[in-house]
Amino acid sequence: MSEIDDSDSEARYDRLIERAATILADNHTGLFTKPSAGQYPHQWNWDSAFIAVGLGHIDRRRAFDELRTLLRAQWANGMVPHILYPHGASNYFPTPEFWQTRGAPGGPPIETSGFTQPPLVASAVRRLYERADDEEAAAFAREVYPSLLAWHRWLHGARDPDGTGLIAIIHPWESGTDNSTRFAAPLERLGEVAAPPYSRQDQHFVKPGERPEAGDYDRFMYLIGRYRAQRWDDETVYREAPFLVQDVLFNSLVYRDERDLRVLAERLGEPVAEIDGWLAAAASAFDRRLWHESAGLYYDWDVRAGRAIEESTCAALMPLYAGVADADKAGRLVRHQLLDPGRYAPGEGSRYFLPSVSKSSPYFEPRRYWRGPIWLNINWLLISGLREYGYLEEAAAIRRDTIELVERSGFVEYYDPRDGSPCGAAGFSWSAALLIDLLMEKN
């Protein structure tokens, strides 16, 4: 079951798994698993993929239903939205009404947000399929495969209409790393904005110092206001979006999801030529546009400014998860970034892997949302990537830190890298689900 060396570890890990399973049960709504009580009462796209990975170990049918519920909200154009409101509005903001997606071209069958999040569902489905490899798992994979393929077709058609090989995001929230420091420059370039009237609710459950700042939030709402005025029309939104970024993290997750989509296609007897074309174009573009030889880093590309965003965050390491970096680039990322105590490694102001922003950044804030804290999903992604490249000791060190963080501070949304103290929402579902996976996996 667990990776264990002795009976004490086994008992310790079993207790953690029980606690994690309780959180996932408590956050289950009957249709889906909300990220946390209070702060996040609806369904989030990449959260559900992470949650399904953990649920697959303890309740496979619930894992299937988690993803089914998500995909039932797929728009007619193929887009899978980043927030779903299956039970309607709550005290969470933005409300369904704020998005104004009703009546949008190809609009949603239920109330949703107007844009997407990083695609991880094909990767989750592959894990669920290969973990069981039985008729029920195969039937589920075949059931959802057309939706997954349609989502990726939408990504390439709507967000890379020029065929660069890279997907552009239209809002920082699409990256999943909402207020990351790498978006500071593109957001600041918007200048003073006239946001539609709104009232944020996120600071009722989490300390203001751990949430995005007011100026960032104004710009987030301004962008939503522009896109909803365009009725969420793909062509218009892409052409006129003032924020358009080819994000390393988003594209890394697209690439890995398409690798896994290709495996599913082969297992199901589906054609793979289209997917192969996407993968080949992306691999070339990662090298040509996102890799910066002098820095030894992958940087986001600001499409509107026509230049790289030279800010080092956890996103720069995600090509390791994607498997898109060659051996030399991977080695440089590990040696000169991951293992540098002045950047990401423990020491020089931090105790644990992996700060979400390099400690060398002038923007680094160890407790503010995506501006420095540790996130378990990023650790989990990086562990997977390091193992694939053969960096087993480094993967084991991050795994140990991840377990210690949970034992120290519980299943919270994010953690202060200086001392591991808890930040954000408590009882956080993907922290619980991914810890289950780390403890029950076979590698």
Please give the positions annotated as active site.
178, 413
Burial (Cβ within 10 Å: 0-12, 13-18, ≥19) of residue 165:
buried
Return d(Cα 381, Cα 321) in angstroms, integer.
6
Asked if 358 contacts 344 with a C-beta cutoff of 8 angstroms, the reply is yes
Return d(Cα 269, Cα 146) in angstroms, integer.
13
Scanning 193-310, the segments in alpha helix (DSSP H) are 214-229, 234-240, 248-268, 273-285
Return d(Cα 9, Cα 167) in angstroms, integer.
43
Tokens standing for residue 60: 């496979």
In this structure, what are the phi and psi dihedrals at residue 326, rounded to the nearest 5 degrees? -75, 175
The owner of tokens 């997917």 is 275
Asked if 426 contacts 36 with a C-beta cutoff of 8 angstroms, the reply is yes
Listed residue (333, 242, 338) closest to 290, CA to CA: 333
Burial (Cβ within 10 Å: 0-12, 13-18, ≥19) of residue 364:
buried
At what angle are helices 429-440 and 45-58 packed, to 10 degrees?
Answer: 40
CA 65, chain centre distance (Å): 20
Pairing mode of beta strands 307-309, 300-302 = antiparallel
Pairing mode of beta strands 307-309, 422-423 = unpaired
Tokens standing for residue 134: 């039985």
| Residue at 368: amino acid letter | R
Listed residue (164, 151, 85, 143) closest to 117, CA to CA: 151
Asked if 317 contacts 380 with a C-beta cutoff of 8 angstroms, the reply is no
Helix (H, G, I), strand (E, B) or coil at 56: helix
Listed residue (284, 289, 286, 280) closest to 262, CA to CA: 280
Q: How far is CA 200 from CA 93, 344, 364, in A?
A: 6, 32, 24
